[in-house]
Amino acid sequence: MKRIINPSRRRFFAQTGAGLLAYTALPSWLQAMEGMGEMPKMTPNKASANFHPDVEIDLTCQPSTVSILPGQPTRVQQYIAKLVKGPANTLTELPGSYLGPVMRFQKGQKIRINLHNQLDEVSITHWHGLHVPALMDGHPLYSIGKGETFVYEFEMLNRAGMNIYHPHPHNTTASQVYQGLAGAILVNDEEERRLELPDGEYEIPIVIQDRRFDSENQLVYAGHMRDRMMGFYGDRILVNGHPDFNLDVASRAYRFRILNGSTARIYKLAWDDNSPITVIGTDGGLLETPVNKPYVMLAPGERLDVWADFSGRNIGSQLAMRSRSFSGVLPKMAERMMGGGMGGMHGKALPVGSDYPIFSVKVTRQVSDSPALPGKLSTYHHYQISDTANPNKPVPIAISEGPMAMLLNGRPYAYNDILPSERIPLNTVQLMEIFHAHGGSGGHGGADTAKQSGQGMQHGGDGNAEGSHKMGGMGMMRGMNHGGDNNVEGGDHQMGRMGMMGGMGGGMGMMMSMAHPIHMHGQSFQIISRTIENGESEDYATVKDGFIEGGLKDTVLVMPGERVKVIKPFQDFKGLFMYHCHNLEHEDMGMMRDFLIE
């Protein structure tokens, strides 16, 4: 696999650590790590004698080979899991897939997972969507090296829903996920059980990913700076690790548990016969009532619970789920380049926003009865602004986009660089606002919020200049390394120019503006409002009916010019909890920060 060589972590943290001097009174354990020059080496967690698990799993991440395309097998990285203790249905393999097995847990279970790293690089596993203590959350600080073990112990506090396990090491999350390290977690609870939703063979995980292979069937990954700026896009779609995924179904209702496991690709999911998609749940579990959508936007890290009813269909009838055309998630220039076939030495990417199939379904069995779609699905507390500790000063999450630096709140990632606005009192409910710092009306956003909140963004401002300068330098170096890739195609040249122009500042906002799936660790949030600055564009019209209102979320797609307000509880656990762009190339570029809950 070809990929970018990361600049040394030492240099990165040596540079960013200096920013800490501006802030005082960080907890001593964080302060103690400062000046160590790089991500400190923490002691891996060990099993505790007084934790009595209901379920115990040995989970190994290791190099492996899997047959994906006809011909030569593909070298991948893979999760292998073994059930040590617990119900037999805890682990379900996806046959022939590089993906890890589906893990099924029950709310209230005490779970121990022994993560063994057999990769030739550091790694750590994060339970995306689960509400667990900071130490158990898979923070990059706890990355372990080859041959080491990290023991996770937590109680399942989540309501029923679909979650994800995937690696979260600093700077290499995207490449490890791309090489195959990911899996689905299904949580069940009493409220869900009462609904008697389709289960067993009628409940189907659908993990959608895009990949690119070379002529020897080996994975090809980000070869240019552009692949990191825009995200890396494959030239084909895999479902559950398989190309051309087909499903034989009976003429009855199914439950499709859909997860976008791509590093960067955003989908606009729709049935090809134009029947609506019946959505019964999102990231954080079941909606209150089912909703019918003409299509649903699904960004990396997001999940969708779909009721798919094939009753009344004849044997032999077919249906396909497609990604329909849309625009506006990438900068115009990139969209054009991709339309013209953006790609490197190993073929062209499937253009983002083009119309292509994801998987197809064929009715092969007639059955006489089918469960009915429940009218009422679940109940959850709806947060109001009045529930929040900060109704007048939302916690800012400012997306800043520059040619060499995709950042949040103007600063690149550093585990020990916590802005005042990123310090959240334990057991509070917070109003939060995600917006493009340079998008639309040009930087207003940041300033407004800074005035409102009187915190955070001032530092953000400072950090911006300083931070992006440094990142810029680093970016350049990365870019140069790539030069060696012999890339002589027009696209890069353009990107280079675009970079230069951006570097000069001024007016680059619109040029670079793109959509970002913003993810927060810890508890789910609720979306309060989405507003689009400068009115709705033609581009926005191609996606706007695909957002699910209501429900519990942990990842939200923020379109260019969009301002999204959410309410999120920060209960139970102190410590560092990350928030980041789930475009994993962006995450690895530093579009990631921590909240310190204290």
Q: What is the 3-state secondary structure (H, E, C) of 63-126?
A: EEEECCCCCCCEEEEEEEEEEEECCHHHEECCCCCCCCCEEEEECCCEEEEEEEECCCCCECEE
- The 71-110 site mask, x for binding ligand C2O (CB under 6 A), equals ----------------------------------------
Span near ligand C2O by CB under 6 A; candidates 89-97, 160-168, 245-253, 360-368 = 160-168
DSSP-derived secondary structure letter, 598: -
Q: Which does 242 bind (CB under 5 to 8 A by kind): Cu ion, ligand C2O, none?
A: none
Question: What Å distances lie between residue 577 and 174, 451, 592, 595, CA to CA?
Answer: 19, 26, 11, 5
Q: How far is the CB of 14 from ligand C2O (least distance, A)?
A: 24
Q: Report which residue's Cβ sits closest to ligand C2O.
A: 128
Q: Which does 563 bind (CB under 5 to 8 A by kind): Cu ion, ligand C2O, none?
A: none
β-partners of residue 162 are 186
Q: Which does 586 bind (CB under 5 to 8 A by kind): ligand C2O, Cu ion, none?
A: Cu ion
Q: How far is the CB of 173 from ligand C2O (least distance, A)?
A: 7
**Contact yes or no for 192/138 (Cβ under 8 A):** no
Angle at 345 between CA 514 and CA 170, to 5 degrees: 50
**Contact yes or no for 186/281 (Cβ under 8 A):** no
> β-pairing, 91-92 with 347-348?
unpaired
Angle, helices 457-483 vs 9-17, to 10°: value is 160
Q: How many CA atoms lie within 13 A of 131 on its CB side?
A: 23
- The 535-574 site mask, x for binding Cu ion (CB under 5 A), equals ----------------------------------------
Q: Using the minimum distance from each CB to ligand C2O, give the nearer residue, 495 or 592.
A: 592
> β-pairing, 526-532 with 149-155?
unpaired
Q: Which residue from 416, 536, 498, 33 is spatially nearest to 224, judged by alpha carbons?
A: 498
Q: How far is the CB of 461 from ligand C2O (least distance, A)?
A: 26
Residue 223 lies near ligand C2O (rule: CB under 6 A): no
Span near Cu ion by CB under 5 A; candidates 28-36, 63-71, 327-335, 577-585 = 577-585
Task: Please count the other Cβ atoms lying within 10 Å of the Cβ belonging to residue 531.
Answer: 10
Contacting ligand C2O within 199-218 (CB under 6 A): none
Residue 568 lies near ligand C2O (rule: CB under 6 A): no
Q: Which does 301 bind (CB under 5 to 8 A by kind): Cu ion, ligand C2O, none?
A: ligand C2O
Q: How far is the CB of 95 from ligand C2O (least distance, A)?
A: 25
Q: How far is the CB of 333 from ligand C2O (least distance, A)?
A: 29
Give the total of residues touching ligand C2O (CB under 6 A): 11
Q: How far is the CB of 445 from ligand C2O (least distance, A)?
A: 24
Amino acid at residue number 271: W
**Contact yes or no for 5/474 (Cβ under 8 A):** no
Residue 459 lies near Cu ion (rule: CB under 5 A): no
Q: Which residue from 408, 388, 383, 412 is spatially nearest to 398, judged by alpha carbons?
A: 408
**Contact yes or no for 518/434 (Cβ under 8 A):** yes
Q: Using the minimum distance from each CB to ligand C2O, give the nearer residue, 128 or 438.
A: 128
Q: Using the minimum distance from each CB to ligand C2O, give the nearer residue, 104 or 521.
A: 521
Residue 583 lies near Cu ion (rule: CB under 5 A): yes
**Contact yes or no for 241/279 (Cβ under 8 A):** no
Q: Using the minimum distance from each CB to Cu ion, give the nearer residue, 81 or 264.
A: 264
- The 493-532 site mask, x for binding Cu ion (CB under 5 A), equals -----------------------x----x-----------
Taking the C-alpha atoms of residue 311 and residue 252, their distance in angstroms, rounded to an integer, is 4
Q: Which of 521, 553, 563, 586 binds ligand C2O (CB under 6 A)?
A: 521
Q: Which residue from 282, 258, 225 is spatially nearest to 478, judged by alpha carbons?
A: 225
Angle at 177 between CA 545 and CA 280, to 5 degrees: 35
Q: Which does 60 bind (CB under 5 to 8 A by kind): Cu ion, ligand C2O, none?
A: none
Taking the C-alpha atoms of residue 352 and residue 323, their distance in angstroms, rounded to an integer, is 9
Q: How far is the CB of 128 from ligand C2O (least distance, A)?
A: 3
Residue 388 lies near Cu ion (rule: CB under 5 A): no
> β-pairing, 110-117 with 149-155?
antiparallel
**Contact yes or no for 172/587 (Cβ under 8 A):** no
Residue 398 lies near Cu ion (rule: CB under 5 A): no
Angle, helices 457-483 vs 444-453, to 10°: value is 140
Q: Which does 324 bind (CB under 5 to 8 A by kind): ligand C2O, Cu ion, none?
A: none
The pair of structure tokens assigned to 110 is 């005490």
Residue 128 lies near Cu ion (rule: CB under 5 A): yes
Q: Which of 290, 301, 394, 561 binds ligand C2O (CB under 6 A)?
A: 301
Taking the C-alpha atoms of residue 377 and residue 99, their distance in angstroms, rounded to an integer, is 30
Q: Which does 578 bind (CB under 5 to 8 A by kind): Cu ion, ligand C2O, none?
A: ligand C2O
| Longest distance between any two alpha carbons in the chain, whole Å | 70
Residue 261 lies near ligand C2O (rule: CB under 6 A): no
Q: How far is the CB of 138 from ligand C2O (least distance, A)?
A: 8
Residue 131 lies near ligand C2O (rule: CB under 6 A): no
Residue 303 lies near ligand C2O (rule: CB under 6 A): no
Residue 270 lies near ligand C2O (rule: CB under 6 A): no
> End-to-end CA distance of the chain, in Å?
42
Q: Which of 519, 563, 586, 593 binds ligand C2O (CB under 6 A)?
A: 519
Chain residues binding ligand C2O by CB under 6 A are 126, 128, 164, 166, 168, 301, 519, 521, 578, 580, 582
**Rule CB under 5 A: which residues touch Cu ion?**
128, 516, 521, 581, 583, 586
